[in-house]
Amino acid sequence: MKVTIAAIGKCKKGSPERTLVDEYIKRSTWDVTIKEADNSNQDDEAKFLQAAVPHGAKVIVLDERGVNIKSIELAAKIADWQLNGCSEICFLIGGADGHLQSTRDKADLILSFGKLTLPHMLMRAVLAEQIYRIQTIIAGHPYHRE
């Protein structure tokens, strides 16, 4: 599985958040790529995010209005996509003002990680861990416990 994380704002090299992101990406057997753009206005951010989606990839938009599901449910959805020929997914993390409707309209899944507001850089670390967790759930690895 190829995974792209497209995000607004650049995570500084050597920061604690970047260290966590890099650690979970290193653990994953999936091919994970991060694409970042500087904060701008919402229209420019939307253009960047939409252009960052690889052709044919399933799109997961991280948005506070999205569904809040368990890791195991997300893993099941991604496993189902894989069984139906999907080999690439793309997670979109918007800027401070969130996503435009035009970006949400392109989503295969709009996902919320809960009601808490998290800093964008910390959200990347949480997402990287969840990507690793999902991959281990699908593989039957004992990392995830319920």
- Domain holding 41, by residue range, is 2-139
The answer to whether residue 145 sits within a structural domain is no
Number of domains composing the chain: 1
The answer to whether residue 73 sits within a structural domain is yes
Rounded to two decimals, what is the model's pTM? 0.95
Q: Cβ atoms within 10 A of the Cβ of 61, count?
A: 24
Which domain CATH number covers 47?
A: 3.40.1280.10
| pLDDT given at position 144 | 79
Q: In this structure, what token pair is assigned to residue 61? A: 């938009």
Mean pLDDT for the chain?
94
Residue 96: band (very low, low, confident or very high) from pLDDT cuts 50, 70, 90 = confident
Residue 36 has pLDDT above 80, yes or no: yes
The answer to whether residue 146 sits within a structural domain is no
